[in-house]
Amino acid sequence: MTDAAEAPLSADIQLIQRIIPHRYPFLLVDRVRDIVPNKSAVGIKCVTMNEPQFTGHFPGLPIFPGVQIIEAMAQTSAVLVGVSMDLADKNAKVYFMGIDGAKFRRKVVPGDVLEMTVTVKRGGGKVWKFEGRASVDGELAAEAEFSAMLDVPKG
């Protein structure tokens, strides 16, 4: 049996905004659940028709851009790092260093709930590497490995 101290953590939109600097229209994660510090997390993105990318991608056939799925996985990872390292309100930034093996398997459209499972492959310092898988209703939509660098201001 797991006690409360060992239970997975979560981050609502208020905590997410205290950890990462992204804001509308580029804040692409609504909630992060099942956070296991330094190991894994699941980000949730509710895709809605009123998002600005759908005016041009594509008119009459709205499809959530694949690059934004990768970005949403990265933002989920940044929240995982922020929770793992207690970075809320510390003005930390996490920057992409590389993206490998990105594959897109399914269209993501308004009304979908995108679940992004991210797993730490290497981390704990300034450079982190992750594996990410995004799915809708259990069906794989995208996957990639990516690395990022953590920048925390001194003081």
Q: How far apart are CA 98 and CA 130, in angstroms?
A: 10
The DSSP code for 148 is: E
Q: Which residues of the chain have pLDDT under 50?
A: 1-4
pLDDT of residue 2: 40
Residues contacting 83, CB < 8 A, separation 6+:
9, 11, 19, 32, 35, 37, 41
Tokens of residue 75, six digits: 């933002």
Tell me which of 57, 93, 106, 129 is the catalytic residue.
Answer: 57
Known active-site residue 22? no
Pair 75, 68: CB distance under 8 Å: no
Q: How far apart are CA 49 and CA 106, in angstroms?
A: 18
pLDDT of residue 4: 47
**CA-CA-CA-CA torsion sign (31, 88, 73, 8):** negative
The pTM of this model reads 0.94
pLDDT of residue 7: 64
Give the DSSP H/E element, type plus range, for residue 133.
Answer: strand 127-136
Output helix, strand, coil percentages for the chain, rounded to the nearest 5.
20, 40, 40
pLDDT of residue 148: 96
Pair 20, 94: CB distance under 8 Å: yes
If one counts every other C-beta atom within 10 angstroms of the C-beta of residue 125, the result is 9
Q: How far apart are CA 142 and CA 66, in angstroms?
A: 8
